[in-house]
Structure 1
């Protein structure tokens, strides 16, 4: 069976492809971003279903493609997917015998059911797979998922900016973020917090805040916002877990930053690593959501066991895919284990911050780390001490 997707948004292409392959893993899915490319694929392949965006690049309309196809094929099922839901768009689509008109954003499960109806009607001999979706097999194919799907795009963009040789200036960031209330509020709050303890009056503008905390730390705040964004997750258990992971990472990052400040180490480096300790867990949650979007069913136990089994694998693959510097990878890994014989203070610091965040106040490991870093227990940030982390959640 062959389906054709004509859509210029790559993320939407990938979602629709996932839905189609969730119905039948043997399905051939062809994608095009323009009318010319779509028409060429339709001529070359025996297309059984067309999914077409209404608004395409260069002011083209998907109805032009539909009109060309209907001149030669009056039976092909056509589903128009668009951000427009006005009466004129619906009327024009009906004039060209479009079978379905779906407005973005849409419910993937509902769309999947409607697509299935048209595929079965077009070819009743086709056996649409539906009961053999397996969460384990779906999530285990890490390489394929990370190649086809765009996990946490905001986080990837933020990390790319953080790690590039010449990051933007404070002025450029202020111009770029001037209409973003979430990052503005977060940066002003951080600039006036105890972590960035400074003299003088309170800072009140975005540009002042960026200049005060520095470009590196400002970029890590954008990363924090991106990693804490749960809008991609529709399942309630996935949403709750994502919030838990974000809160835990935020706490660890703030402890790491406070320790770095006390030890006169790079605050932004340690803060960034702390934010990313749950990267793999969050990626698995997104993979599970995609499984659900494809028609799969999960229980809370399924979610818990899958995250536990695949978090490390997804985290490692994402670090490679995003080309994270080795030093950053090492700091993230050190939050789980600093390693025997390690003397790098930033690695020891990350492990100590993780112990504090976990509440291991009197553990032998924490005492050893304090000795290695030449810190007294009274020097440590924490709920029982004066210098506990500031909350910088949006």
Structure 2
């Protein structure tokens, strides 16, 4: 099902997108103006609308009227800063399905959508057909965020700093990806300086918005992998990502380089695999037939494609994309320090420091190879 979000405030729009994208089977389109939303509606109808009332180029009620001219039952939720009774009655006159006021209450909007969005079911689709369709949708990575923990932090929002949150969430792959995405949206790239670390991203969007994004992700029940085989793969890839992030941080520190960007790149180095697991979990929850061999086939077939699409969709800076890519492959003629750090970190994380490639990279960095003695293999790998 397709959902259209009309919201001119970029931060609020990104937050609503996070909440809506958490529902399985939804393909979210974000419109920034009434004109753009009308164009989208003229192209094709949607199965769900979330509409801001007051927009720079008109009223969201105009879109509501257009929708109701041809469809009297499709869910339409108004999201507005107007809290007076008269406004609610006026919107209700046009047949709304819900009215949510700003500042946006993440839990309230999530509850409203639970009542409006039907359970997603797979209809005679193979897992590869499902993967192909889902590759163009907003995919949120699996997360183990606890809503109660986030709500507790929201209660202390005035005393929290970006540095404290970044330290608390430093190993949260899905949350790191989403907050980097929001921070690198167009309104924050006007300076020409991309945001490449979690701490900088939280500082850019603010602690309050970062907590709202975290709460939205924590309420995404489809982000919790319910099938044991999928959870086992996710644990493996998360462990691999954390090891690369730690090794990259260690190498960068030895070289006296700023390490936050390298840590982010390592943490996100398996985002393609994690996204595939999330979509497979949705497929399984929607009644699809999924065998162990198909899980492995999908990881091999779709991880790179999903990873590349997400890096673009999430607006990762080119520098960060290059560092993530270097984890998996680095051309011998690439002599830039950043990619070399990431590739060396990946090899060391896999206990491959004795291999010629890793030895060569450490020499290029001017590091003592004896500092990277081989460790005992981890059971997690």
- TM, length-normalised to structure 2: 0.57
Summarize the alignment of residues 181-220 of structure 1 with structure 2, pairs less than 5 Å apart. 184=164, 187=167, 219=199
Question: In the aligned structure 1, how far is the partner of 2:129 from the partner of 2:76?
Answer: 30
| 2:251 is aligned with 1:259 | yes
In structure 1, the partner of 2:126 is: 134
Summarize the alignment of residues 67-82 of structure 1 with structure 2, pairs less than 5 Å apart. 69=95
- Check conservation: 2:225, 2:281, Cα contact below 8 A: yes
In structure 2, the partner of 1:18 is: 25
Deviation at 1:306, TM superposition (A): 1.6
Question: In the aligned structure 2, how far is the partner of 1:290 from the partner of 1:63?
Answer: 38
Deviation at 1:45, TM superposition (A): 0.6
Structural RMSD (CA): 4.9
In structure 2, the partner of 1:29 is: 47
| 2:75 is aligned with 1:51 | yes
SS state of the match for residue 282, structure 1?
Answer: helix
How many residue pairs are counted as aligned between the two chains?
288
Deviation at 1:3, TM superposition (A): 10
Match of 2:309 among 302, 311, 317: 317
Match of 1:151 among 140, 145, 148: 140
- For structure 1, list consecutive stretches of 5 or more residues without a partner in the other structure: 70-77, 84-101, 117-128, 155-175, 191-214, 385-394
In structure 2, the partner of 1:351 is: 343
Deviations 1:295-354 (A, max 9, x none): 545344433322221111111122222333333222211111221233223322211111
If you compute each CA radius of gyration, which structure gives the higher value, 1 or 2?
1
- Check conservation: 1:284, 1:310, Cα contact below 8 A: yes
Summarize the alignment of residues 1-394 of structure 1 with structure 2, pairs less than 5 Å apart. 9-13=16-20, 18=25, 29=47, 31-33=49-51, 34=53, 36-37=61-62, 39-47=64-72, 49-53=73-77, 57-59=81-83, 69=95, 104-105=110-111, 112-113=118-119, 131-141=123-133, 144-145=136-137, 149=138, 151=140, 179-180=159-160, 184=164, 187=167, 219=199, 232=220, 233-237=223-227, 238-292=230-284, 296-380=288-372, 383=375
Deviation at 1:43, TM superposition (A): 3.5
Deviations 1:198-223 (A, max 9, x none): xxxxxxxxxxxxxxxxx976617969
Deviation at 1:248, TM superposition (A): 1.8
Question: In the aligned structure 1, how far is the partner of 2:316 from the partner of 2:124?
Answer: 37
Distance 1:218 1:7, change over 3 A: closer
- TM, length-normalised to structure 1: 0.55
Deviations 1:142-180 (A, max 9, x none): 6631xxx263699xxxxxxxxxxxxxxxxxxxxx96555
Question: In the aligned structure 2, how far is the partner of 1:235 from the partner of 1:110?
Answer: 23
